[in-house]
Structure 1
Amino acid sequence: MEKHLHIICFDVPYPVDHGGYFDLFYKLVALHQQGIRIHLHCFEHKRPQQSELEQYCVEVNYYPRQCGHKGFSHKLPYIVSSRTNATLEDRLLKDSHPILLEGVQCTYLLHDERFNNRKMILRLFNVEYKYYKQLFHSSNSLFHKMYYLNESRLLKRYEESIANKSLILTLSDQDTNTYRKEFGAKQVATLPVFLPYTQISAPEGVGCFCLYHGNLSVPENEAAAIWLMKKVFNDLRIPLVIAGKSPSSRLQRIAGKTKNACVVADPSEQEMQDMIGKAQINILPSFNVTGVKLKLLNALFNGRHCLVNEATVQSTGLEPACHIGTNATAFKSQIVQLYRQPFAEEEIRLRKSLLLSTFDNKQNAQRLIQWIF
């Protein structure tokens, strides 16, 4: 008997050019490989429609996101209220297939009485109110600070209201525990992120630069890159490459004044993977303790030494595969030590034991199917 599943995505999940799209896209692929008949629904804003998705889905439907003042609500978080659509709701009501909600952003249906008896599963990517609180702290714009703080306030109340309306599948044990303890969620479990990596491709030997990579338009990532240039590489004679999407003129200006630092703006996926593999140290400090750091997983699967701070690896179980610095001085010391230290086979074996059994797309798709059906 065929198994049909509606999946509602907060954005168009292809191309996979940002960490937030890894789980969305590679979950589609894994479920398709298990024979699930997927009816995909995407909210569309700046990312165009993609024919690639039709390879994995019975149908792909697109809905405009209500941006700007049209999407604002005094009661609902903007990320939720801007993703409501009557056509989507009518389409879903034509059958009784289960619905996978990709992110808190897509949970408006949980408050619609017409879906009270419908099997729905929420895939949680962050404890969103905490994530927006972190964005508030890392933003330099007063307008953005006001928006992030208000959104965080609305999200805390909203996330508590949905905590027991469906089965919730988080990306990390940390988020599972938060929903259990803080919001009283009774049906919540951890399902690891779906990834494109099936083996450890980290090269042995010595690379030729240090790399920080990420979406540089995200305030937290820009702040981390600036911290590295001003506090860590300010007096090191070791090259630092900062690579990612949409670097600001401010970031590029600071890099221009920092000896041995450069910015690679908007590299292709292939160029980014090439840099990760050639770097001697992937340096990934974070000022945000929420969610799973996809760029860290990318570096562990495909790069040599990984240097992080405690916030990057907190409650991930990945600590043994990383070098951890607590402050700028510790980062400097570890960089000097690791820059000439060959990456060896024993470290690859450690990563295999830590990563391959946890991030197994086939195994995790089968677990998800059991939860849904």
Structure 2
Amino acid sequence: MAERHLHIITHDVPWPADFGGVMDLFYKIKTLHQNDVKIYLHCFVNERPEQEELNKYCAKVYYYQRKKSWTRFSFSVPFIVSTRKSAELLKNLQQDNYPVLIEGVHCSWHLYTGQLRNRIVLLRLHNAEFEYYHQLALHESSPLKKMYYQHESSLLKKYENKLAGKVNINAVSAQDVALYQQNFKATHIDHLPVFLPYEKAAGREGNGCFCLYHANLAINENEAAAIWLLQEVFQDLKIPFVIAGKNPSQKLEFMAHQHAHTCLVSNPSDKELHDMIAKAQINILPSFNNTGVKLKLLNALYNGRHCLVNQAGVTGSGLDNLCTIAETAEEFKNTIKKLYTKPYALEENENRQQVLKRLYNNQKNADKLIEIFWSQQ
């Protein structure tokens, strides 16, 4: 069998795999390495430093500084793309003719401009970005940031429309496949589930003693979901409720500690968060957008007890039957009351395992990528 070589371009440094945006990246790299793929990894550096760990899985790792200066602001190119333009990256890609996996619209500039013509290229769609930024704008209170998100969403819609006809695309959710087909008439797009560190559903039998919402709280829609739960659900529902996540605002810190039965854990370690997910009686994860796949939900399904979501939180994921779904605040309250006293049975783990293993199987999904890149060899 001929050697397999692959360039992978990532929008951020994919280690440590401590948030949703890089978890899929790292475990994809690790699984492809286990399948004897020689990986040439190209990372854009934002705030995360270079990582020795990546050398275990890659033949070579390149790092490029993301240029976030406002001189990169444009009225034609999305900011998430213009800040990742790199002549050095293109030069390194042109040293050979190996296939290229582009992780996210963010890294697609050289594909967009036609400079990767005559290469086997696959674009990994992490979100329908135009819709994601539209949702960020809806939940932003700062007028300046709202204007930026609206501008970025408008540019992304035009950019993604042109990109959709240039390349084969694998999206993380069936919902994003449908969005691209409906909005951009995309024909070369398919669903490839995310790669995960989890292998076995391991929810603990019995009852926990609190409800949990966890997320990156620096993202405005996640903060909005946490505030909605505090004000609309747990304001008069006297059941212990914990919010946990990265970089909460002072406003959210203050609101979470206004009542004796609610609190906030700021910047928990991976171990601490895993422990909270496992000990919670209900992992409550409403979402205010329906793009991408909610990796925090997968974490809860693999490691926690009952999961309560709204429809937007599971759309396109195939996980609907593993969760309890509510929409209004009143429905959330009533459902929480029922689930809070309902012991979690190990039989539910068995059901979860069957569904999750079918959808989120790293080896099966790596086989799909290998077929895409090397089926003609």
Task: Report the TM-score range of the alignment, normalised by the length of the smaller protein.
Answer: over 0.9
Cα deviations by residue, 1:24-49 (Å, 9 ceiling, x for unpaired): 11000010000000000000011111
Shift of residue 181 of structure 1?
A: 2.4
The whole-number CA distance in structure 2 between the counterparts of 1:177 and 1:130 is: 12
1:194 aligns with 2:195: yes
| Residue of structure 1 equivalent to 2:153 | 152
Q: Secondary structure, in 3 states, of the residue corresponding to 1:169?
A: strand
Verify the 8 A CA contact 1:234 1:259 in the aligned structure 2: no
The whole-number CA distance in structure 2 between the counterparts of 1:169 and 1:36 is: 19
Shift of residue 113 of structure 1?
A: 3.6
The whole-number CA distance in structure 1 between the counterparts of 2:79 and 2:46 is: 14
1:167 aligns with 2:163: no
Verify the 8 A CA contact 1:195 1:361 in the aligned structure 2: yes
Verify the 8 A CA contact 1:41 1:62 in the aligned structure 2: yes
Shift of residue 356 of structure 1?
A: 0.9
Verify the 8 A CA contact 1:101 1:121 in the aligned structure 2: yes
Q: One-letter code of the match for 1:192?
A: P
Shift of residue 316 of structure 1?
A: 2.2
Verify the 8 A CA contact 1:305 1:338 in the aligned structure 2: yes
| Residue of structure 2 equivalent to 1:236 | 237
Cα deviations by residue, 1:251-277 (Å, 9 ceiling, x for unpaired): 001112133111100011111111000
| Residue of structure 2 equivalent to 1:95 | 96
Q: Secondary structure, in 3 states, of the residue corresponding to 2:358?
A: coil
1:172–1:113 Cα change, 3 Å: closer
Q: How many residues align?
A: 373
Shift of residue 347 of structure 1?
A: 1.4
Shift of residue 201 of structure 1?
A: 1.0
| Residue of structure 2 equivalent to 1:25 | 26
The whole-number CA distance in structure 1 between the counterparts of 2:107 and 2:185 is: 21
The whole-number CA distance in structure 2 between the counterparts of 1:169 and 1:183 is: 15
Gaps of 5+ in 2: none
| Residue of structure 1 equivalent to 2:371 | 370
Percent of paired sites with the same residue: 51
Q: Secondary structure, in 3 states, of the residue corresponding to 1:115?
A: coil
- Between stretches 161-170 and 173-182, larger displacement belongs to 173-182
TM-score by length of 1: 0.98
| Residue of structure 2 equivalent to 1:61 | 62
State the 4+ residue runs in structure 1 displaced beyond 4 angstroms.
none
Shift of residue 237 of structure 1?
A: 1.8
Verify the 8 A CA contact 1:131 1:288 in the aligned structure 2: yes
1:300 aligns with 2:330: no
Q: One-letter code of the match for 2:333?
A: K
1:1-373 correspondence to structure 2 within 5 Å: 1-373=2-374
Shift of residue 318 of structure 1?
A: 1.1
- Between stretches 57-66 and 256-265, larger displacement belongs to 256-265
Verify the 8 A CA contact 1:229 1:258 in the aligned structure 2: no
Cα deviations by residue, 1:135-185 (Å, 9 ceiling, x for unpaired): 000111111100000000000000000002111000111111221222121
Verify the 8 A CA contact 2:204 2:346 in the aligned structure 1: no
Verify the 8 A CA contact 1:70 1:82 in the aligned structure 2: no
1:131–1:113 Cα change, 3 Å: closer
The whole-number CA distance in structure 1 between the counterparts of 2:113 and 2:139 is: 35
Shift of residue 68 of structure 1?
A: 2.3
Verify the 8 A CA contact 1:130 1:290 in the aligned structure 2: yes
The whole-number CA distance in structure 2 between the counterparts of 1:310 and 1:226 is: 19
Q: One-letter code of the match for 1:242?
A: I
1:341–1:113 Cα change, 3 Å: closer
Verify the 8 A CA contact 2:18 2:270 in the aligned structure 1: yes
Cα deviations by residue, 1:270-325 (Å, 9 ceiling, x for unpaired): 11111000000000011111111111111011100001111111232211111111
Gaps of 5+ in 1: none
Shift of residue 345 of structure 1?
A: 2.3
Verify the 8 A CA contact 2:173 2:291 in the aligned structure 1: no
